[in-house]
A = this chain, B = another copy of it.
Amino acid sequence: MKSTEIHLVERPVGMPEPHHFKAVTVDLPTPAEGEVQVRNLYMAVDPAMRGRMYDAKSYVPPFALNAPMEGPAVGEVIASAHPDFQPGDLVFSRLGWREAFNAPASALEHRDREALPPQSYLTFAGVTGLTAYAGLFHVGGLKPGDTVFVSAASGGVGSLVCQMAKLKGHKVIGAAGGARKLAFLKEELKLDGAFDYKAEPNLTKALARELKAISEKGIDLYFDNVGGEHLHAAIALANDYARFPICGMISQYNLAGEAPMAPRNLMLMMGKRIRMQGFIATDHLPLWQHFTADMIAWHKAGLLHSAETVHDGIDNALTAFFALFTGDNLGRALVKLN
């Protein structure tokens, strides 16, 4: 069986470009004893992959050069030399960026083919969903009456944060870039307030205007996916005791050498007693059982729109990845591989 896979061949400084990568087609042998052969159905791309292209210590190791990159994928078992897996089984792995692969059984996790559609294990029922769930409810400590602000609100995580806060009865304001995403926030997610940060000269004024329109003085919880000016606006308009789960700062990722834009009003944290908490979803795996039960229930109840942009085929995997940094994906960015 042939499989095309994407290798990292050079570590980017600043914005990644096509010449940093190479597509390589390999022949897969019959799986050896203890191995399983998997044909990937979907893979996901996400901004954290940018971090793994640096040769720097982080909470996950960097990608190796001249080897396929890794990333979340769901696939189906084609052949198995391990008793726990049978052809046709749906499996999750971290072995994306390739059409198919052989791997030891320990690299695979079963997923329930009946409960949810396969790609949902990369969106609301996967780590993306857990990130939203853990950040909003556990790190952020969402409590009744909280007004919520979400940056990158049309993204994979952000759109789920918005929906989870809405279904719990909260007022939610979202920020996203461009008219199409703004329309999505208003018309699909039905947020109480929304603005297009690319069209606003001053994000603090934009957030203040949206708060005023819903007769709210400030925000109690800011789910930060962006950092920079969005974080500045959130600090400026935070109510006392506001909590800021810090999930990502995508505005800061590709600044080769430049000083990142940082909030200039951090000193307001004391008077407002703001709590900012960086977190990683995988620290919250003990929530998995409750999280999955909620996701299945909310999905069956029609309360979750899975916001996703699907790119077709391994040849478009890099296009999907680059689009993360130009803001062209709506929701979670997936690549349909087979």
Residues of A at the B interface (CB closer than 8 Å) are: 51, 58-59, 227, 231, 240, 246-249, 252-253, 259-260, 262-280, 283
Contact = CB atoms under 8 A, between A and B. Distances in A.
Given A262-B262, A264-B259, A276 B271 contact: no
A267 B283 contact: no
Given A227-B266, A273-B283, 15 more contacts: A51-B271, A248-B270, A249-B267, A252-B266, A253-B267, A259-B264, A260-B264, A260-B266, A262-B263, A263-B266, A269-B276, A273-B278, A274-B277, A275-B277, A276-B277
Given A246-B270, A266-B227, A278 B275 contact: yes
A283 B269 CA distance: 14
Query: How many chain copies does the complex carry?
Result: 2
Contacts of A266: 227, 231, 246, 249, 252, 260, 262-263
A55 to B, nearest CB: 15
11 contacts: A59-B240, A227-B267, A249-B269, A252-B266, A252-B267, A259-B264, A262-B263, A268-B278, A269-B277, A270-B280, A273-B283
Nearest to A58: B271
Nearest to A240: B59
Contact of A59 (B264, B271, B276, B279): B271
Contacts of A270: 246-249, 278-280
Contacts of A268: 278
A57 B276 CA distance: 22
B271 A267 contact: no
B267 A273 contact: no
A270 B283 CA distance: 11
